[in-house]
Amino acid sequence: MAQVGKDIDLAISLLESDELVGIPTETVYGLAGNALSESAILKIYSAKNRPKFDPLIAHTYSIDAIHELVKHIPSKALKLAENLWPGPLTLLLEKSEEIPDLLTSGLPRVAIRIPNHPLTLKLLKKLSFPLAAPSANPFGYVSPVEAEHVNEQLGDKINYILDGGKCAVGLESTIVGFEGEDPVVHRLGGIAIEELEKIVGKAKIETNNSSNPAAPGMLKSHYSPGRKLIIGDIAVNAEKYKDKRIGIISLSEDYSHLAVTNFILSQAGDLEEAASNLFRALRQMDNPKLDLILTEEVPNIGIGLAINDRLNRAAV
């Protein structure tokens, strides 16, 4: 298993040697390596068993640092950056020659963001390179929101995990690209569409599940637990599958009388609290004592859009 702690100097030493480190962000824990090193990038793909046609996100600490990694920042992208960074927003921008093609899967744009976590921001400021950091889990499985989750899944493949506590947002970043100056949302995430549109006006949503993704996290088979997940009316499905050992993930209602395990995402029905608990709930339900998982869509507004996106991908 990996060593877990808060030793930034040790993390720097490993990253400068092209080794991988688990790092906390406000969204989920990332599996980090030097984003400018093909050797480190290949180690990320290998550790996650991730297809090399699924691009990675680069993380850095300032807009000035990003200017060195891209050719151009559209005016609306700059507005989003100035208003929402650090935070759960990723921008797709035309990459500079410094960015390896391996990071972007040969695509001309790089996905880049400034994470909002004090420990990782401190780490990034001390490095001379950005970090590639997809979620620190085997490809296709539930994203980790605690250091312990990283160690359970990848502890035998990395040496060190920076422990930054539980991730506050709990869903991956919203990814926004641009057609000219017009924003296009490629992945729903921790920034709600309504929040984006307050800053830059109407945004097109283009979150097609794809075997040839234009942005990270667009493949259909992401976020899946090891048990079949069924979305719908929980009470109806609980009756339908009453001969099965079921687990239930509900927004706010208590179904513990119907299930082996019932995880309530937010007793108050708060969507942001629900988002922060979603991956922990999916992980808890990956239990050999269960035959299947029943859940329901949440209100399809704000961050609820991203919660429903993750549930539907997990149900594949």
Whether 3-205 shares its CATH topology with 228-314 is answered no
Q: What is the mean pLDDT of residues 9-29?
A: 98
Q: What is the mean pLDDT of the chain?
A: 93
Angle at 223 between CA 222 and CA 226, to 5 degrees: 110
Structure-derived torsion over alpha carbons of residues 195, 277, 280, 292, reported in degrees to the nearest 10: -100
- For the chain, which residues make up each domain, given as ranges? 3-205, 228-314
Q: What is the pLDDT of residues 50-69, one digit of tens each?
A: 887 789 999 999 999 999 89
- The neighbouring-strand residues paired with 135 are 30
The DSSP result for 71-132, as a single string, is S---HHHHHHHHHH-SSSEEEEEEBPTTS-HHHHTT-SEEEEE----HHHHHHHHH-SS-EE
User: Rounded to an integer, what distance in angstroms lies between the CA atom of residue 154 and that of residue 162?
Assistant: 13
User: Rounded to an integer, what distance in angstroms lies between the CA atom of residue 99 and that of residue 112?
Assistant: 11
Q: Using the predicted structure, report yes or no on whether residue 212 has a pLDDT greater than 70.
A: no
CATH class of 228-314: alpha beta
User: Selecting from 3.40.50.1700, 3.30.465.10, 3.90.870.10, 3.30.460.10, what CATH number does the domain 3-205 have?
Assistant: 3.90.870.10
pLDDT score, position 209: 57
Q: What is the mean pLDDT of residues 44-48?
A: 94
User: Rounded to an integer, what distance in angstroms lies between the CA atom of residue 174 and that of residue 84?
Assistant: 11
Q: What is the pLDDT of residues 75-103, one digit of tens each?
A: 999 999 999 999 999 999 999 999 999 99
Structure-derived torsion over alpha carbons of residues 109, 114, 115, 120, reported in degrees to the nearest 10: 110
User: Rounded to an integer, what distance in angstroms lies between the CA atom of residue 240 and that of residue 246?
Assistant: 11
